[in-house]
Structure 1
Amino acid sequence: MRLITLKGRKLYLLMKIICGTSFMMYGYDAGVLGGVLLHPPFLNAIGNPTGDYVIPMIVASYDLAAMITAIIISFFAFRMGRRGTVILGNIVAIIGSVIQASSYSVSQLIVGRLCTGFAIGCISCAVPTYLNETGIEIGDRGPANAFNAILLISGVPLAYWIDYGFTMMDNQASWRVPIIFQCIFAFISGGTMYFLPDTPRWYYARNRFEEGDAVLAQLNDDVVESEGVQFTRREIMAAIEAELEANASLNWKDFLTMGIVDNTRMKIVRRICICFWLPMIREWMGSSLIAYYSSVILTTVAKPSLVSLLSGVLNIFFALGCVPLYFTVERVGRRSVLLYGAIAMTILITIFTALVAVGPGHVDIQWASIAIIFMFLFTFGYAWQGCVWLYCSEIAPLEYRHIGAGACATGEWLMTFITVFAGPIGFNRIGWYFWLWVISGNVIAIIFVFLLCPETGGKTLEQIDYLFIDQGFAGLRKNFDVTPEDMEGYAGIEKKFGGEKKEDVGEESGEL
């Protein structure tokens, strides 16, 4: 049932706002508990737990649930659709928020965290794909995902500031109200999404052609018979046909090599593995570690009365870093943003680690390390926060986009769980040496993007399929363009890449 009659750009704007609201809840929920973990009324309510593992387990149970959800939802998301998955996530988010806000024990709190983790697992799988598949113009995807990232990260400082205000009180409402507040995002996003259509690409992939035509016409603000609608329809159908042809060479054993060995013509296995590894590397680079435990990191420098204030400002810098991406991602390109951003972040986190190592007893050096962290998170927000979601949802083949989205969220939440659980333990046990782990993640990011991530900007989702046909490592070959003529059915693939031309392409591109 769809009651929203908006068309064209107004409809897509509404879709962006609603998806962004879901992601803002995601960011808010990630940050809200961190601001009350040391608040006496909160600790009293859950029995003042002791031990190194209790608090990290409360925090990280959310990430563990999101990871498991991302794996499970991959088997059902294609049936439910992108829209249905988002609605399910928002419903469970409300349930989880109520359980957390009414908690009087560690076990109840963990159950609530598991529910919200399930919710965010659904949302993080579906929202980037929904945004990309409803974009009509090639330049829609980059700004839409950047806007999503801005709202996602804005949810973190919003949670910190609400915590900061409420924890001035000394009662149970001081921590329960901030937690239940996230239901507002879920009601708005889930309620509105119910009246929005699913993506035309999902309808076509499910053989629901009339609905796909109707939504495509609505997004184009044109009639179904128009050339623009029909051209996009032909592109989608050609991509589906080509992917079905590529399925014949798909061997699931290739997943055991994590995409290094891939005999499929469109590199389906490698692309899904990239969807897993890229967000996993992002979390290895330290974003969630710093965002979750900014108060712990800042206690080495600031007075307790300033820690919450600085934590909020630090996360605002993180969100502000996402803003320039909105205006530049289509001009600069995804690969360049990821590659050069990783180089800059490696330099910054190395400097930070050196300052932390020599900083104790030197207030000026300690404050300099905090300044570097501000710069690091700003750069992170620009280069890796929104761009990873965008890139992974672009490169996943249409028939496997739900699996690619699940792989993306699984990698994200697996490494988030590891870093968030191990972070406070590592800080307590080995001190600044723990940052060497973060440095290694940034170095790996440079190598990974250089070798495996071709540029996807300036191409439709269907044209991106052809970037991977019979190609070797991205960093060791020349990029090539795909013209509209190449998209006129599967014959276009054979014309450009098949038969006698195949060897020429491999030789010219530096194929391994």
Structure 2
Amino acid sequence: MPEYDAGVLGGVLLHKPFLDAIGNPTATYTIPMIVASYDLAAAVTAVGIAFFSFRMGRRGTVLLGNLMAIIGSVLQASAYSVAQLIVGRLCTGFAIGCISSAVPTYLSETGVEVGDRGPANAFNAILLISGVPLAYWIDYGFIMSDSQASWRVPIIFQCIFAIISGGTMYFLPDTPRWYYARNRWEEGDATLAQLNDAEITSEKVQRTRREILISIEAELEANASLSWKQFLTMGVVDKTRLKIVRRLCSVILSTVARPSLVSLLSGVLNIFYALGCVPLYFTVERVGRRSVLLYGAIAMTILISVFTALAATGPGHPAIQWTAIGILFIFLFVFGYAWQGCVWLYCSEIAPLEYRHIGAAATASGEWLMTFITVFAGPIGFANIGWYFWLWVISGNVVAVVFVYFLCPETGGKSLEQVDYLFVRKGFPGLRKDFDVTDEDIEDALHVSGKLDVVKRDVAAGKPS
């Protein structure tokens, strides 16, 4: 739904019935303001919602987002003024800020097996990006008409996605990790047992339960030494046991330094972009998140460098220009595979449980903020400096390569609780294939958090631990 919402208005901006409905505005920045209000609202919402989304839960945040999506769609589809259209766009942007920051976390935290998170988030990326070509072709089908329905129907069509998504989520529970973090033990136990299709007393469920509770206790211990000063120094003075600041800064930098600002509205290119997400579903668990991000960024750096060289020498040479377009096809496919679905997955895994909503908010905020900047800075940059603008894009890809190589450990093949141990122990032991949380690790974590005696008393009393 997010990408459909983002792309549907683009296909009708110059459509006469649409312009007639909003009074045929002539001001230079009116249309860009209408378009960009959506992205800006999504970016601001993703940041603002981090302050209360943990209380609402992943499920509650998604439900709120879908409700606002319906309201925003209705306002846009019934608009007869620029002001109402912008208000509708702001509401829809608010909705997408909520949804895009909560869904990847929900998918990651409800995965039963370690290998569930990758395919689930990859499939989510396929559906996400498919919204762009869907919006393009729906607009294309209606734009042949001169009636008001030709632009209002594609916009109100957004409601279908929100109703399906919100209606489904209404009957689903929140994640067991969120229930435990909120001290809602019975709901956490019931959800965990339901996800595993086993009794709460089974060894598999009990071990997962212990790992989640230990992770929560370790984070509580880390919180005691957490301060905003550590964020200002980018984690250099981060002394917390789980390296919380470093992990959240990893999330923020991975989105702000995203490797591409290319904005292509062509329907065929957008289909190619969506198709790039498909192989991620089958390979992300085998290849690993770090490899996908790293080698994807390297490939994109090479491709965009070649494209820039062609763009600099291409004017007046059709063969070179067509070659450049071919490079863009490949670039967009690689981008869809490596840096669209995988970034959302990685950011939902790398942040600690009680800060996962902040990490997700930073991811969503970076996504929509960079989209907002693209809408404004892209055309201005090309108009003023031409192909030199692509040098900035190349630099973003280079930063991505360096960032992933030095700061991103592998999170694939591990439970979310095992990811915590990547930052507890010296170095990155998670790079070892046989890494696992042993009973000694569990006892050590409980001892540090002061809960070892409590657990032993529960075991002696016959209570689930």
User: What TM-score, normalized by structure 1, do the two folds share?
Assistant: 0.84
**Residue matched to 2:157:** 181
**Residue matched to 1:238:** 214
Per-residue deviation, 1:29: 0.6
**Residue matched to 1:46:** 22
Conserved 8 A contact 1:35-1:164: yes
Q: Does 1:285 align with 2:237?
A: no
**Residue matched to 1:217:** 193
Q: Does 1:489 align with 2:465?
A: no
The CA deviation string for residues 7-60 of structure 1, in whole angstroms up to 9 with x for no partner, is xxxxxxxxxxxxxxxxxx111011111111222222222233335433222211
Q: Does 1:100 align with 2:100?
A: no
> What pairs with 1:150-229 in structure 2 (closer than 5 Å)?
150-229=126-205
CA change 1:478–1:205 in 2 (3 A) is closer
Q: Distance in 1 between matches of 2:153 and 2:80?
A: 15
Aligned residues: 447
Q: Once superposed, what is the RMSD of the aligned Cα atoms?
A: 1.8
CA change 1:47–1:354 in 2 (3 A) is farther
Q: Distance in 1 between matches of 2:172 and 2:123?
A: 19
**Residue matched to 1:427:** 382
Q: What amino acid is the match of 2:21?
A: A
Conserved 8 A contact 2:72-2:90: yes
CA change 1:399–1:358 in 2 (3 A) is same
Q: Distance in 1 between matches of 2:387 and 2:24?
A: 28
Q: Distance in 2 between matches of 1:329 and 1:189?
A: 25
Q: Distance in 2 between matches of 1:75 and 1:28?
A: 27
CA change 1:158–1:42 in 2 (3 A) is same
Q: Does 1:34 align with 2:7?
A: no
CA change 1:219–1:247 in 2 (3 A) is same
Q: What amino acid is the match of 1:147?
A: F
Per-residue deviation, 1:251: 1.8
Q: Does 1:65 align with 2:41?
A: yes
CA change 1:45–1:69 in 2 (3 A) is same
**Residue matched to 2:123:** 147
**Residue matched to 2:456:** none
**Residue matched to 1:448:** 403
CA change 1:102–1:449 in 2 (3 A) is same
Conserved 8 A contact 1:486-1:492: no
Per-residue deviation, 1:482: 3.3
Q: Distance in 2 between matches of 1:493 and 1:212?
A: 20
Q: Distance in 2 between matches of 1:51 and 1:372?
A: 36
Q: What amino acid is the match of 2:121?
A: N
Per-residue deviation, 1:494: 7.8
**Residue matched to 1:501:** none
Q: Distance in 2 between matches of 1:366 and 1:165?
A: 29
Conserved 8 A contact 1:91-1:186: yes
Q: Does 1:388 align with 2:332?
A: no
**Residue matched to 1:14:** none
Give SS of 1:484's match: coil
Q: What amino acid is the match of 2:422?
A: L
The CA deviation string for residues 228-264 of structure 1, in whole angstroms up to 9 with x for no partner, is 1111101101111111112222122111123344222
User: What TM-score, normalized by structure 2, do the two folds share?
Assistant: 0.92
Q: Distance in 1 between matches of 2:308 and 2:335?
A: 16
Per-residue deviation, 1:411: 2.0
More displaced 10-residue stretch of structure 1: 407-416 or 65-74? 407-416
The CA deviation string for residues 172-200 of structure 1, in whole angstroms up to 9 with x for no partner, is 21111111101000000101111111100
Per-residue deviation, 1:478: 8.9
Unaligned runs of 5+ in 1: 1-24, 296-310, 496-512
Matched-pair identity in %: 77
CA change 1:436–1:48 in 2 (3 A) is farther
Per-residue deviation, 1:149: 0.3
Conserved 8 A contact 2:218-2:445: no
Per-residue deviation, 1:148: 0.3
The CA deviation string for residues 340-373 of structure 1, in whole angstroms up to 9 with x for no partner, is 0000001111111221222222222221111111
